[in-house]
Amino acid sequence: MADSKPLDRIKSRLSPEAYQRLAAIQNPELHAFVAKYVEICNPARIFVCTDSEEDKAFIREEAIRSGEERPLKMPGHTLHYEHYDDQGRDKEHTKFLLPPGVDLGPDIGAMDKEEGLAEIHGILKDIMKDHTMYILFFTLGPTNSEFSIPAVQITDSPYVAHSEHLLYRSGYEDWRRLGEKARFFRFVHSEGELDERKNSKNLHLRRMYIDNENSTVYSTNTQYGGNTIGLKKLAMRLAIFRAEKEGWLTEHMLLMGVHGPAGRVTYFTGAFPSMCGKTSTAMIPGETILGDDIAYLFKKNGRVRAVNVEKGMFGIIEGINSVDDVIVWKALHSPGEIIFSNVLLCEDGTVYWNGKDGPVPERGYNHSGEWWKGKKDAKGKEIPPSHKNARFTLDLSLLENVSPRLHDPEGVEPAGFIYGGRDSDTWMPVRQAFDWDHGIITMGAFLESETTAATLGKEGVREFNPMSNLDFLSVPIGRYVGMNLDFGKGLTHPPAIFGVNYFLRDLETGKWLNDKTDKAIWLKWMELRAHGDVGAIQTPVGYIPKYEDLRRLFKEVHGKEYTKEDYVKQFSLRVPQFLAKTRRVMEIYRTTVANTPPVLFQVAEAEIARLEKARAEHGDIIPPDKFPVVA
């Protein structure tokens, strides 16, 4: 039987029903955790949520009643706003709490554990005295799966609770089944005091602290999903820390099925920084989505198994339109449970976002309050209709291309890993690595991308971002690269590794060389390459497509001609840019990253040697026909 003492300490604070729901989970460690934060946060009321639809409906209603969400014209649609200074991940105040002697390196924010715990508990003291505490149970990954992790979320925001029900699998019954066996993640969040718009008021006390040793995340005085939805990027830190010890991977990756010849479905994972095409890749018409953000990767019987941690999507809405984003556009304009955040509320009860089809409304209401065309902020800058990082939250079941294997407890076997970022002048649109180490190093560990509106700070700055996971690492970078390299050892069927770039520009004119829909072609080529169905051209930086294969795919998929001129512009090797990038990132590893695996430098130096040899033979910009075709 469970140790009832922790629950007995707070029994007077709980309704009989809430007490029985907690007691039914026979896990003393859980009871001690809940009791501790009931006593510290001092909520006015406590609601313990099960998997029932009635409990989920109660939370939805609370989100509207509290004013954190407002209903829209379309049935099931609601709208949420955050404070105008609380609409991106706050990297400055996201820190790991580390005991003495532990160092994660200069790129990972950290502080002394005892100091951090004292601060966060001081902030949490009585923070919920006027709020309801919601206690929610989830599984990160499919229920009844050996690959999943149970999690408990404490929050006083019905918007956060509602969001998590859309994004994650309810896990109350899984918790009851596991009992004391549950090795769980814990999350404590409070939005803090709210202003008249029901936004977090004390942003100077916004904190996101991660305690790896105790598998606990704290988040205070914020409502933005990236800072508050604990099971998302905050949970990634806990999972990466655990994965290193157990020999698996937690990656910032989409998970999708690409349809090939004769009804074949081939699964891929893909890592892209925010606003670099990850969600749009996962949503390509004709393919199937298992997830657009986070994947757990395990080795089983010499093969990789991958599961989507989530069952929903917290997607960037800017630019979504009926031509480029057919499937998600249809979902966003159909009845169903969807939360919109920081978009423009129109006078007719619909919403508008930057880049949506149709004319921009003259007036409305957005994160800045009453809005009109030409409205400017205090610095004289024009305020757009919706925030650049405005979002939508929905369950993947609303998408017509959702994979039937989304909830498969065995996961799926990916045939390929994809890495991509914003790169205007170097990477080709698609290429394949020579082998596991070459791909993990030159395409994953050497990934750079321009910053976007998804984080607070400047846009357009090219940043080093290994595997698109730098913001979420809980182990030093060198060890993380080593984890990825080691993961390939012992695989009897290692996935092929690809690099993609949707943002290549002409060196002379600066014009984009890729159309938004071209990514569908690159995926089809990768699917064929994963099975060895087409040959390729061997360049110093990997294998690239042959023109005739792409021409055929453009005709089959899009019904349009693909010119040799476009092909040459897109796939010519830009030697100076590749050399500069490789040397630039190598210098980072040499000077700022401790314990970098020596193979990283060996692989990079070999690539530099191949590039220098090619330049000596063919010049700075080398068209594809100068390189050999391989089977």
DSSP 486-555: HHTTT-SSPPEEEEE-S--B-TTT--BSS-GGGHHHHHHHHHHHHTT-S-EEEETTEEE--HHHHHHHII
Is it the case that residue 400 has pLDDT exceeding 90? Answer: yes
**Are 217 and 321 within one domain?**
no
Is 75 among the domain residues? no
Boundary (domain end) residue, out of 398, 425, 456 = 398
Is it the case that residue 452 has pLDDT exceeding 60? Answer: no
Cβ count near 495 (within 10 Å):
23
Position 416 scores a pLDDT of 98
Average pLDDT over every residue of 429-455 = 89
Mean of all residue pLDDT scores within the chain:
95
**Are 304 and 326 within one domain?**
no
Is 545 among the domain residues? yes
**Are 374 and 257 within one domain?**
no
Least confident of 48-52, 282-286, 583-587, 622-626: 282-286
Average pLDDT over every residue of 472-500 = 96
CATH assignment of the domain containing 387: 2.170.8.10
Position 2 scores a pLDDT of 44
Which among 102, 130, 122 is positioned nearest to 42, based on CA atoms?
A: 130
The pLDDT-based confidence of 631 (bands split at 50, 70, 90) is: confident
**Are 199 and 217 within one domain?**
yes
Position 463 scores a pLDDT of 87
**Are 258 and 318 within one domain?**
no
Position 459 scores a pLDDT of 58
Distance CA 259, CA 71 (A): 38
Q: By percentage, how much of the chain surpasses pLDDT 70?
A: 98
Is it the case that residue 275 has pLDDT exceeding 90? Answer: no
Give 201-223 pLDDT, tens digit per residue. 999 999 999 999 999 999 999 99
- Dihedral of alpha carbons 356, 360, 365, 366, sign: positive
Least confident of 95-109, 406-420, 578-592: 95-109
Is 79 among the domain residues? no
**Are 491 and 430 within one domain?**
yes
The pLDDT-based confidence of 449 (bands split at 50, 70, 90) is: confident
Domain containing 92 equals 5-68+87-245
**Are 374 and 386 within one domain?**
yes
> Which residue type, as a one-letter code, is found at position 596?
T
Please give the sequence-ordered ranges of beta strands (E in DSSP) within 400-495, or none if there are none.
414-420, 430-432, 448-450, 462-464
Is 595 among the domain residues? yes
Boundary (domain end) residue, out of 340, 369, 398 = 398
Is it the case that residue 559 has pLDDT exceeding 80? Answer: yes
Position 460 scores a pLDDT of 58
Position 453 scores a pLDDT of 53
Boundary (domain end) residue, out of 245, 260, 276 = 245
Contacts of 78 (CB under 8 A, 6+ apart): 60, 63, 64, 69, 70, 71, 72, 338, 339, 340
> Which residue type, as a one-letter code, is found at position 151?
A
Give 104-125 pLDDT, tens digit per residue. 988 889 999 999 999 999 999 9
Beta strands 94-98; 542-544: pairing state: unpaired
Average pLDDT over every residue of 58-62 = 98
Half-sphere exposure of 183 (CA within 13 A, CB side): 8
CATH assignment of the domain containing 27: 3.40.449.10
**Are 13 and 95 within one domain?**
yes
Does 460 or 246 have the greater pLDDT score?
246
Residues facing 11 on adjacent strands: none
**Are 454 and 559 within one domain?**
yes
**Are 259 and 199 within one domain?**
no
Give 493-520 pLDDT, tens digit per residue. 999 999 999 999 999 999 999 998 899 9
Position 161 scores a pLDDT of 98
Is 80 among the domain residues? no
Per the annotation, the verdict on 276 as an active-site residue is: yes
Position 106 scores a pLDDT of 86
The pLDDT-based confidence of 3 (bands split at 50, 70, 90) is: very low
Average pLDDT over every residue of 605-626 = 98
Is 77 among the domain residues? no
**Are 441 and 568 within one domain?**
yes
Position 1 scores a pLDDT of 40
The pLDDT-based confidence of 557 (bands split at 50, 70, 90) is: very high
Distance CA 509, CA 512 (A): 9
Give 119-156 pLDDT, tens digit per residue. 999 999 999 999 999 999 999 999 999 999 999 999 99
Average pLDDT over every residue of 47-59 = 98
- Among residues 41, 49, 276, 346, which one is catalytic? 276
Number of domains in the chain: 3
CATH assignment of the domain containing 511: 3.90.228.20
Distance CA 536, CA 528 (A): 11
Give 5-50 pLDDT, tens digit per residue. 899 999 999 999 999 999 999 999 999 999 999 999 999 999 999 9
Torsion of CA 568, 571, 573, 578, to 10 degrees: 150
Q: By percentage, how much of the chain surpasses pLDDT 90?
A: 90
Is it the case that residue 177 has pLDDT exceeding 60? Answer: yes
Is 572 among the domain residues? yes
**Are 323 and 307 within one domain?**
no
Assign 481 to helix, strand or coil: helix
The H-assigned helical ranges of 219-354 are: 225-228, 233-246, 278-282, 326-332
Position 274 scores a pLDDT of 76
Is 73 among the domain residues? no
